[in-house]
Amino acid sequence: MDVIWLRSSALEVGVITYGARIVSVRTPDRDGTWADITLGLADLDAYRRDPGYLGACVGRYANRIAGARFTLDGAEYRIPPNEGENALHGGPGGFESKEWSTDGPDGSSVTLRHTSPDGDNGFPGTLAATVTYTVDGPELSIEHTATTDKPTVVNLTNHAYWNLAGGGSAEDHEVQLHAGHVLPVDGDSLPTGPPIPVDGTPLDFRSPARLGARIRDGHPQLAAVHGHDHAYVIDDSPGELRAAARVVEPRTGRTLQLRTDQPSVQFYTGNMLNGSLVLRDGSTARQTDAFCLEAQGFPDAPNHPDYPSTVLRPGEEYRSRMVFTFGTA
């Protein structure tokens, strides 16, 4: 497996062209000991079999589209379902399973490219997508772009699984999400309506709270998806780079801060990890061994006219940015 390494004095990031995936992120703890803080697999064959989208650029449409169909400009488009009757992360054989091209890294940055043809997985338009990974000191920037030759929908994000301890359970991580509202979901993880306030619910992470503190609460929203797996509506104006999340691992002191220009961040506690996925160190991944922070447009927005639009038209450019800053406390 050929890994492209991006390095600074505070950060090492490994990227592969298959799925434009992040396969390694190494940072020091408060004592200066380096460790890998993202889940990774042993080799390329393992990534080709990976059901969990580890570190991948997911698309054309991150998250879910209800009924694997949507209507745009009066025409209905159908996507092959890959999660019951619904489409997850663009349907089967999405961007996570494509071989992306690259012009080569410069040591601190690399841009990967993929062109999805008109009709790919049922989506209209030829979509030319890029993802650029840049390391600058303690920061990892992930920037997505896309253009199309026909009206289409697009929603791209990165699906890295984080564990700032470098292994073991992530339940003691202290999580803060700068979001006063969340999208309610049903048992298929599909949004059911407009954002609801988190106030007074176990979904409230406006103040730091242990990741595992409320995950087994009987609240209907947690029961529906067997843990945390919700789109948090980030405070302040979308389109501007602003604080979305901060996570602290108390034992090592490692910290992660996320800023993004997207309207929401999907906070996911690995609820589908059931011990069948073997990681690069030979251990198996289970729920709450890691978490995801996926900055993105709203899930199923093509079927919710009241959600922020994810439509991209010819002559426009889709852009999204996530900036992870790592440090110690």
Catalytic site residues?
159, 294
307 is in an annotated binding site: no
286 is in an annotated binding site: no
64 is in an annotated binding site: yes
Query: Which tokens in the block code for residue 186?
Result: 């049903």
Query: Which tokens in the block code for residue 116?
Result: 């999805």
226 is in an annotated binding site: no
Instruction: Give one DSSP letter per residue of 88-131, joined into a string.
Output: ETTSTT-GGGSB-EE----SSEEEEEEEEPTTGGG--S-EEEEE
229 is in an annotated binding site: yes
Query: 254: Cβ–Cβ under 8 A, 6 or more apart, which residues?
Result: 27, 29, 30, 37, 164, 165, 248, 326, 327, 328
Beta bridge partners of 248: 174, 255
d(CA 42, CA 108): 24
199 is in an annotated binding site: no
Whether omega before 30 lies within 30 degrees of 0, making that bond cis, reads: no
d(CA 229, CA 268): 4
Nearest CA-CA partner of 62 in 329, 298, 327, 303? 298
d(CA 38, CA 194): 32
d(CA 327, CA 329): 7
Is there a contact between 170 and 280 (Cβ–Cβ < 8 Å)?
Answer: no
Q: Within 13 Å and on the Cβ side, how many CA atoms surround 125?
A: 20
Which residues contribute to the annotated binding site for beta-D-galactose? 63-64, 159-161, 229
